[in-house]
Structure 1
Amino acid sequence: MSERPLSHDMVIRSLAMRHWNETVDDARAVDALEQGKVLFLPSLAFPLSTEELTLLTPDLVDPKRKNISFNAQNGKLNGVAQAEKKAQVQALLQRHHDYACQLVSSLLPEYKSALHSPVNSLRLHPITVWRDATSWRKDDTRLHVDAFPSRPNHGERILRIFTNINPHGESRCWRVGEPFPVLAKRFIPRLKRFSPFSSWLQNRLGITKSYRSHYDHLMLQLHDTMKGDENYQQQGPQVTLELPAGSSWICFADQTPHAAMSGQFMLEQTFLLPVAAMKNPDNAPLKILQKLTQRTLI
């Protein structure tokens, strides 16, 4: 596959932030994020107490789950294997959520009032454990854009804030791929046709939590087709990023092709954002896919 190589400058924008509530005078940060770049905060660490450091063990995670998750909106905590540690884990994740909200207020104030459906996670397993024990569709070491199989989001953006909390100084390694408009144009001819009846039936049977729109169908197909293309995984345009312990980064995970290759111990906060709340809605995957297909997708 002959491609113009990507450079680091094409996929990442670095910002010198040391505090989660630090005021940043950089209007271009939002522009870079909405264009699909990773906002990299190399000096933005999440502090852990001595007691919290004892939680950094995979044994804490329910064997039936990939990660521990927490919804700050309803206080629901899932995935903790040790009942006596639940209160401590919830306090940690609540504090992480609060820090993430401070970061949004300081760096992305345009989004503050529109973000919703917060869920954050404590990821304790080495990436290699899940790579070796899962199917190719769930293998996040393959380049992909995020799409929810059971939770259609009808075009809303998936904003994610990541922090490497590895206590041993180990970096997290990511691969980041080509701009979404190029990616979508490449794969659209290969995506399966949308069936409204199939979407209705899956919702009726409880397979999905709501009706899977044409947009959600295309995004899920894009996710699967990318992951299933071995040649694209190896030869497609991509850049490797080393994300050190004590650093944070932000991206729209539904737009930025990414793959987590190595690392262990991370905190991650997810929000949903309506397309209308973006500075430039035309950069949204929904708008790009509608333009390419010449269809209304939601």
Structure 2
Amino acid sequence: MSGSILPAQSVIHSLPNTQWDEPVNNASAVEALEQGKVLFLPNLAFDLSAAEQLLLKPELVDAKRKNISFNPQTGKVNGVAVEDTTPQVKALLERHYHHSQQLVNALLPEYRAELHTPNNTLRLHPVTAWRASSSWRKDDSRLHVDAFPSRPNHGERILRIFTNINPNGESRQWRVGEPFPQLAQRFMPRLKRYSPLSSWLQHRLGITKRYRSHYDHLMLQLHDAMKADQSYQQQGPQLALELPAGSSWICFSDQTPHAAMSGQFMLEQTFLLPVSGMKNPQNAPLAILEKLQQKTLI
């Protein structure tokens, strides 16, 4: 990394939690999170039993999938290659989901009633394994904000809780980029025009799960423009983070530019949050993009 180095206090907000249900000064945590900072919990581990540690094998993942996923609402597990291990994998992911709920209740109680559409993943491959085989659009070692081609979210926030469960003590290495307002201003002139007709056709043909709004179009364009710009990847404002085994961290991944550089074995819990459920909705990417565009985007 040779770009301008961001000050740590603008990127990361550390918390002392050692237990998933341990309350802290949540006002500062929510404010930092909604400003786009990473909430870093260096001492918040998710302990695995000896039997669960036996599940930490990349060959457990279906070759057609990147990760194993779990939907807590349906109880469905996808991506397990070894069928006999599905009950153990499900139990592990379900336990992490409940721990994540406890963390939200203790740390972010304002969000508790508004979070929805939970999804949990078990990531067993090393980052380097999928980097070489991915297209540049899918290469998550490039700085990006999350936006998904087939799953428009109409401005809802993407809240993610990560836990490094590496049994060998290996850290996960991240890069984190500049605040979203500066990012949006930087790339806005490059983003292609929105076509309501194209969005309607893509939804009608089943390419997208719902109609892609103007907001979703801009976010997807921003995601792609960031990843395609090699100069920005190398020279743009950023900070390298080392996330040790036994630590957890939280961010709004649609707002915080991030890139996974190395590491293996991680649990990740995703929730969606309506903008109206935020303490400071003006910090949402939707509000920032609407201000820049001077129009309603949903």
TM range (shorter): over 0.9
Alignment deviations for residues 87-139 of structure 1 (CA, whole Å, 9 cap, x no partner): 00000000000000000000000000000000010000000011001100000
Aligned length: 297
* 1:108 corresponding residue in structure 2: 108
User: What SS does the aligned partner of 1:288 have?
Assistant: helix
User: What SS does the aligned partner of 2:245 have?
Assistant: coil
Give me the TM-score of the superposition, normalised by structure 2. Answer: 0.98
CA distance in 2, matches of 1:50, 1:3: 42
Identity of aligned residues (%): 73
2:4 touches 2:238 (CA, 8 Å); kept in 1? no
CA distance in 2, matches of 1:228, 1:136: 7
2:3 touches 2:234 (CA, 8 Å); kept in 1? no
* 2:266 corresponding residue in structure 1: 266
CA distance in 1, matches of 2:4, 2:48: 42
* 2:118 corresponding residue in structure 1: 118
TM superposition shift of 1:5: 3.8
* 1:35 corresponding residue in structure 2: 35
Alignment deviations for residues 157-213 of structure 1 (CA, whole Å, 9 cap, x no partner): 000000000000000000000000000000010001000000000001100000000
* Amino acid corresponding to residue 269 of structure 1 in structure 2: Q
Unaligned runs of 5+ in 1: none
1:37-186 equivalences under 5 Å are 37-186=37-186
User: What SS does the aligned partner of 1:27 have?
Assistant: helix
TM superposition shift of 1:3: 8.0
TM superposition shift of 1:74: 1.1
* 2:296 corresponding residue in structure 1: 296
* Amino acid corresponding to residue 88 of structure 2 in structure 1: Q
1:16-27 equivalences under 5 Å are 16-27=16-27
TM superposition shift of 1:6: 0.9
Alignment deviations for residues 221-253 of structure 1 (CA, whole Å, 9 cap, x no partner): 000000000000000000000000000000000
CA distance in 2, matches of 1:139, 1:4: 22
TM superposition shift of 1:257: 0.2
TM superposition shift of 1:9: 1.1
* Amino acid corresponding to residue 14 of structure 2 in structure 1: S
* 1:188 corresponding residue in structure 2: 188
* Amino acid corresponding to residue 171 of structure 2 in structure 1: S
CA distance in 1, matches of 2:47, 2:5: 37
Residue 231 (str. 1) matches residue 231 (str. 2): yes
* Amino acid corresponding to residue 119 of structure 1 in structure 2: N
CA distance in 2, matches of 1:38, 1:175: 11
CA distance in 2, matches of 1:276, 1:25: 22
Unaligned runs of 5+ in 2: none
CA distance in 1, matches of 2:74, 2:216: 25
